Amino acid sequence: MALRNIAIIAHVDHGKTTLVDELLKQSGAFRENQRVAERAMDSNELEQERGITILAKATSVEWKGTRINIVDTPGHADFGGEVERILSMVDGAVLLVDAAEGPMPQTKFVVGKALKVGLKPIVAINKIDRPDGRHDEVLDEIFDLFANLDANEEQLDFPVLYGSGRDGWMAAEPDGPKEDLSPLFDLVLKHVPEPTTEAGPFRMIGTILEANPFLGRIITGRIASGTLKPNQPVKVLHHDGKLLETGRISKILGFRGLERQPIDSAEAGDIVAIAGLSEGTVADTFCDPSVSEPLEAQPIDPPTVTMSFIVNDSPLAGTEGDKVTSRVIRDRLFKEAEGNVALKIEEAEDKDSFYVSGRGELQLAVLIETMRREGFELAVSRPRVVMHNDEAGNLMEPIEEVVIDVDEEYAGTVVQKMSERKGDMIELRPSGGGRQRLVFHAPTRGLIGYQSELLTDTRGTAIMNRLFHEYAPHRGPIGGRVQGVLISNDNGEAAAYALFNLEDRGPMVIEAGEKVYQGMIIGIHTRDNDLEVNVLKGKKLTNMRASGKDEAVKLTPPIRMTLERALSWIQDDELVEVTPKNIRLRKLYLDSHERKRFEKSAKAG
């Protein structure tokens, strides 16, 4: 059967996964009466909650006697490690762009990677039915983007389709005909080349890794040369040529719609999943025993943000989760790093903490949230930026390109806040509907924690997108949080009466009846210093009846910290305690005397 391998690439929320749903339906991949979940490709619990694709996934459809393997890629640059590997598996790409928003920073990131490996994208302008759509301008912007990314003449001569993935139609003209997705299928067959294969024995590079309770480790990849059959002997070569293991393939799984089915043989050019090996991982070469040279893997961009994952040592440790020791945390982190090549894990000297480096706060927050749901308890530090020195010895830091779409009335506030964070404004232009698009180059350090502040400043109307731009000379100190915190001075349960009396000191982050301990952060101080307070003190009871004695205490609802907000809000001497049931804020040193000693040594140092 003829083959085509394509990736669907787009910015977050431009409709990739919804389009794949429709492609599967219209190609007959589902039975007439089969119930299918919306966004069927987003199978992960966190993906469904957040409405974003985190893990790359493969599926396949049949159209006019040709099998089309489709890979749904993440749109977020934090999960760029997935994108870089996936593009080496495919021969073409469908670039999906929103008819109103146009090409966004993450679009630029993925398209740049696709053009670099020589793909010739098909452009599909999606959501053409939006009332604020501006498809002609968007098409010009896409052309400019391709030109800026050094596309060659063939890549610049891209075919264009217009349509609505949600309504299941694509057409060569913006006004239709609004029938089905057959123009997209036909264009894929016509425009995307058949897989190029080399002669020789079996070779395949691993691109997606997952664990299966029945089959063990499953590796997905595209066969570069040769054929593969079950029970065939293979060996695994590391990308530096070192032999990792030898073994036999127990099962070959082909993608048929959303299902993976065992197949009897696979040929060069096909995307398959294999089981039976215990060591091989992503970017390794799986090959015939006669092969001595590994295939070349796509280089992965370096991590830009690091965090400390620390064994939870608070007085409440072990009361809510069942995975609390350094050994189980270590095993889980190293297992994650095997399948996620954009993560880097280092063990600290004390063996009770680990340095986890990744692409951005979102990638690390997703890892923490996943571990939390698995029953882990741990404490995590504020994200820190990975810096390095250049050849001349200058300190270099990561700079990001930040695109903020905001209503005109708030543009001045955004410009002021970004300049305080050492951001340089590169561009300001209208983006339709009375909104401005502001583009900045700003250090990653200054952007940590800015998302929630931006939403507050703009009444929740601004949209911010970030993308790693380059390493540049260090831009000097950036001001941090201006408020101090309220810290509990004892262990016990927070009393409503005590919280009510502390409301003048600042807003709370806990509710009455919550367990607290010495050193735990219970509120935000209105001033810039930290203050130790007693939250356990109940109302003194007497046998005298006084006026107003029986009035109920009315508390202001507390500020609820989400994981991302907590990570970006804390300072360097604070931690976020993460358990399956709670997210708590605490000081690094719980004892007040230790805190004072640490502050003195920090000032002296």
Count of all residues that appear for the chain in the document: 605
- The whole-angstrom distance between residue 354's C-alpha and the CA centroid of its chain comes to 20
> Cα-flanking dihedrals φ and ψ of residue 480, to 5°?
-105, -150
- The whole-angstrom distance between residue 591's C-alpha and the CA centroid of its chain comes to 36
Q: Which residue has the tokens 């608070």?
A: 314
User: Which residues, in sequence order, are CB contacts of 425 under 8 Å at separation 6+?
Assistant: 415, 418, 419, 438, 439, 440
397 close to 471: Cβ distance less than 8 angstroms: yes
Question: Does 591 carry a binding-site annotation?
Answer: no
| Dist CA 205 CA 286 (whole Å) | 6
395 close to 603: Cβ distance less than 8 angstroms: no
Burial class from Cβ neighbours inside 10 Å (0-12, 13-18, 19+) for residue 17 reads buried
Question: Does 108 carry a binding-site annotation?
Answer: no
Tell me which residue of 287, 291, 295 sits closest to 235, measured CA to CA.
Answer: 287
Question: Does 16 carry a binding-site annotation?
Answer: yes
Question: Does 127 carry a binding-site annotation?
Answer: yes
Question: Does 15 carry a binding-site annotation?
Answer: yes
Task: Give the DSSP per-residue string, 419-466.
Answer: HHTTPEEEEEEE-STTEEEEEEEEEHHHHTTHHHHHHHHTTT--EEEE
The pair of three-digit structure tokens given for residue 550, joined into one six-digit string: 């029986």
Separation in Å, CA 593 to CA 221, 379, 430: 56, 21, 55
Q: Reduced to 3 states, what is the DSSP secondary structure of residue 245? A: strand
Question: Does 529 carry a binding-site annotation?
Answer: no
243-261 as b/e: b if 16+ CB within 10 A: ebeeeebebbbbbebbebe
Q: Which amino acid is at 592?
A: S
Question: Does 17 carry a binding-site annotation?
Answer: yes
| Dist CA 372 CA 308 (whole Å) | 16
- The whole-angstrom distance between residue 289's C-alpha and the CA centroid of its chain comes to 37
Question: Does 422 carry a binding-site annotation?
Answer: no
Separation in Å, CA 460 to CA 347, 440, 449, 455: 39, 20, 15, 4
User: Which residues, in sequence order, are CB contacts of 414 under 8 Å at separation 6+?
Assistant: 404, 406, 438, 454, 457, 458, 462
Question: Does 489 carry a binding-site annotation?
Answer: no
Question: Does 129 carry a binding-site annotation?
Answer: yes
| Long-range Cβ contact pairs of 25-28 (< 8 A, separation 24 or more) | 25/168, 26/168, 26/180, 26/181, 26/182, 26/185, 27/61, 27/62, 27/63, 27/68, 27/185, 28/61, 28/62
Q: Which residues carry a binding-site annotation for GTP?
A: 13-18, 126-129
Q: Which residues carry a binding-site annotation?
A: 13-18, 126-129
